């Protein structure tokens, strides 16, 4: 039985390269330590504003270095408990979060600038 392998396009390869470069820079910005617990093993780079929002995907300031426990697997982790995670960010990285909130609000203002209709009937 033969398997069909999809060839990666040049664009996909370039995107992977940029993702890896971004992740390495984010970890370096946090001295290769988890920003929350200071663990040095099994580090991930986490997007604060989701990477699906392309305008912010490669901003280094939009990243934070997290160990796997703080990123995905701990009870209090960025993916399992986003409220806890954002409370930690607001506590320890207030300037960074305030800046990202401002930029995200500007982004939303430009993309969702819809006037509400008032029903006068």
The 10s digit of each residue's pLDDT in 69-98 is 999 999 999 999 999 999 999 999 999 999
The 10s digit of each residue's pLDDT in 95-121 is 999 999 999 999 998 665 545 445 555
Domain locations in the chain as residue ranges: 12-111
- Contact call for residues 21 and 73 (beta carbons, < 8 A): no
The larger pLDDT score, comparing residue 112 to residue 14, is at 14
Angle between helices 82-92 and 94-111 (to 10 degrees): 120
- pTM listed for this prediction: 0.80
pLDDT of residue 109: 86
């Amino acid at each position: 039985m033969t398997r069909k392998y999809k060839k990666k396009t040049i664009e996909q390869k370039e995107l992977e390269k940029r993702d890896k470069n971004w992740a390495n820079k984010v970890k370096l910005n946090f001295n290769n330590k988890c920003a929350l617990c200071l663990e040095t093993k099994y580090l991930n780079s986490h997007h604060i504003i989701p990477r699906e929002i392309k305008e912010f995907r490669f901003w280094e300031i939009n990243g934070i270095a997290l160990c796997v426990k703080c990123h995905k697997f701990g009870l209090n982790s960025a993916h399992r408990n986003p409220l806890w995670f954002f409370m930690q960010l607001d506590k320890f990285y207030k300037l960074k979060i305030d800046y990202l909130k401002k930029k995200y609000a500007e982004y939303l203002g430009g993309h969702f600038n819809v006037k509400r209709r008032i029903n006068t009937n």
